[in-house]
Amino acid sequence: MNFGGVDFDTYLKNYPDSEGYYGKYGGAYISKELYDAMKEITEAYFTICKSSKFISELRKIRREFQGRPTPISYLERLSGTIGNVQIYVKREDLNHTGAHKLNHCMGEALLAKYMGKKKVIAETGAGQHGVALATAAAYFGLECDIYMGAVDIKKQAPNVARMKILGANVIEVTEGLQTLKEAVDAAFLAYSKEYKDAIYCIGSVVGPHPFPMMVRDFQSVVGIEAREQFLSMTGELPDAVVACVGGGSNAMGMFSGFLNDPVDIYGIEPLGRGATLGDHAASLQYGSEGIMHGFNSIMLKDENGDPAPVYSVASGLDYPSSGPEHAFLHDLGRVKYDAIGDEETIDAFFTLSRLEGIIPAIESSHAVAYAIKLAKEMSHGSILVCLSGRGDKDMDYIIENYGIR
Ligand SMILES: *Cc1c(COP(=O)(O)O)cnc(C)c1O
């Protein structure tokens, strides 16, 4: 299949190029020291992760520890209330720790073990990535340093407790606004000093090369499983595939299975309170080209060209940019990006819970809300949604701020 001059038969092999570019997006805009460290990871990735020993060990872990393959569920009652469109969900909420993030954390930590590293380092905002990485570190017997802004530590007490129970060191960052951006800077700084013994583990398809590629490849298990399962359940491919996009890892994992198929693909960003800068985090909708956190992509900027403040009810989606591959697929027109606001998201959270007995993560509820909207516009056909995680973590916040609907 050809799209915007790109041949999708060979897409996953040809993108990114050897410098980590997807068209003009991606790359590695970092200090010489970090560049050398990234090069070491890239080389290790291409030798170790492509070896049959690594692949079979990761497969065994996915099966026996993570609980993969996760199923696809047909949403009979939800579909029935809308009309003639059949809606299905890929159940990443049933992956161990309750979301897709463990897919790439287990891959990254297994790579760390093969490279002989003793420690994994990362930042976390809401704490979801920190918990997934702390889980992987405990499994492999690696030390784990998680950098977290002081403000986030106060807000995310349960996840801080989880990380500590799992044996991770949660390191409080007190610079600047004391949230995710400062935590990223602190984690990178620590890594540049410790990279002989440690490896940095990013939380999405973002950051300098090779992370967007590595995380996509580890997450591609979602799309590969889903395509096979959907075909065997229905005998056909879905007409549309939908996933929410923060940094974009669950979406890239899901999409990578369907890029070369005659399937409409939708990436859904958070529109928060509305289209005013500062009220949303829909970077691909409203942003422009720029470099942050070591990569070139489409981002939301303030008047000085710095990353703009962003907002979403979903703390896993409030990032002022998206992975470089999403920027590329956006420009090519292969994936259609749209945005869903807080209100529709909260409605979808309750709708899925009430009609199907599945409490979705507030992030995933954005994709569910879009699928409901899309199903109302389509006269027939099928939609497959990536249900990236479960919503237990969001229940208290939603009841406190929105009540029971
Ligand atoms: C972190 C998170 C996301 C957003 O991350 P992506 O890299 O965009 O996938 C989405 N859903 C859940 C449940 C998350 O925890």
CA distance 188 to 400: 35
CA distance 188 to 185: 5
> What length does the chain have?
405
In angstroms, what is the span from residue 358 Cα to ligand 1's centroid? 17
In angstroms, what is the span from residue 362 Cα to ligand 1's centroid? 10
Q: What is the pLDDT of residues 15-25, one digit of tens each?
A: 999 999 999 99
Q: DSSP E strands: which ranges in 303-364? A: 335-341
pLDDT at residue 177 in the model = 84
In CATH terms, 22-62+101-212 corresponds, of 3.40.50.1220, 3.20.20.80, 3.40.50.1100, 3.10.350.10, to 3.40.50.1100
In angstroms, what is the span from residue 93 Cα to ligand 1's centroid? 11
Residue 193 a catalytic site member: no
Ligand 1: nearest atom to the Cα of 92? 13
Catalytic: which of 90, 101, 181, 393? 101
User: Dihedrals φ, ψ of 54, to 5°?
Assistant: -60, -45
pLDDT at residue 122 in the model = 97
pLDDT at residue 209 in the model = 98
Ligand 1: nearest atom to the Cα of 252? 9
Which residue shows structure tokens 């956190």? 293
Catalytic: which of 108, 123, 225, 356? 123
Smallest Cα–Cα separation from 363: which of 388, 337, 336? 388
Q: Residues enclosing ligand 1, CB less than 6 A?
A: 99, 101, 128, 204, 244-251, 316-317, 361, 363-364, 388-389
Ligand 1: nearest atom to the Cα of 317? 4
CA distance 76 to 378: 17
Q: What is the pLDDT of residues 225-277, one digit of tens each?
A: 999 999 999 999 999 999 999 999 999 999 999 999 999 999 999 999 999 99
In angstroms, what is the span from residue 99 Cα to ligand 1's centroid? 8
- Ligand 1 pocket test target in 218, 250, 254, 329 with most atoms within 8 Å of CB: 250
Confidence of residue 373 (pLDDT cuts 50, 70, 90): very high
pLDDT at residue 76 in the model = 98
For ligand 1, atom 7, name the residue with the nearest CA.
249
Residue 356 a catalytic site member: no
In CATH terms, 68-99+220-402 corresponds, of 2.40.420.20, 3.40.50.300, 3.40.1350.10, 3.40.50.1100, to 3.40.50.1100
Burial 122-152 (b: 16+ CB within 10 A, else e): bbbbbbbbbbbbbbbbebbebebbbbbbbbb
In angstroms, what is the span from residue 53 Cα to ligand 1's centroid? 29
Smallest Cα–Cα separation from 27: which of 333, 318, 290, 336? 290
CA distance 123 to 131: 11
Report pTM.
Answer: 0.97
Q: What is the pLDDT of residues 121-177, one digit of tens each?
A: 999 988 999 999 999 999 999 999 999 999 889 988 999 999 999 999 999 999 988
Q: What is the pLDDT of residues 44-75, one digit of tens each?
A: 999 999 999 999 999 999 999 999 999 999 99
In angstroms, what is the span from residue 251 Cα to ligand 1's centroid? 9
Catalytic: which of 312, 363, 388, 393? 388
> Chain-wide mean pLDDT for the chain?
96
Ligand 1: nearest atom to the Cα of 249? 7
Identical fold for domains 22-62+101-212 and 68-99+220-402, yes or no, is yes
For the chain, what are the domain ranges? 22-62+101-212, 68-99+220-402
Sorted by sequence, the CB contacts under 8 Å of residue 320 that are 6+ apart come out as 281, 283, 287, 292, 299, 300, 301, 307, 308, 309, 310
Which residue shows structure tokens 């090369």? 209
Which residue shows structure tokens 């529709």? 344
For ligand 1, atom 13, name the residue with the nearest CA.
389
Q: Give helix 128-140 / helix 101-114 axis angle, nearest 10°.
A: 40
Sorted by sequence, the CB contacts under 8 Å of residue 205 that are 6+ apart come out as 211, 212, 215, 216, 219, 247, 248, 249, 252, 323, 324, 325, 326
pLDDT at residue 93 in the model = 98
Mean of the pLDDT values across residues 387-393?
Answer: 96
For ligand 1, atom 1, name the residue with the nearest CA.
316
Q: What is the pLDDT of residues 98-123, one digit of tens each?
A: 999 999 999 999 999 999 999 999 99
In angstroms, what is the span from residue 248 Cα to ligand 1's centroid? 7
CA distance 359 to 387: 10
For ligand 1, atom 14, name the residue with the nearest CA.
316
CA distance 146 to 131: 9
Residue 175 a catalytic site member: no
Cα→Cα distances 344→252, 339, 351, 360, Å: 23, 11, 10, 14
For ligand 1, atom 10, name the residue with the nearest CA.
363
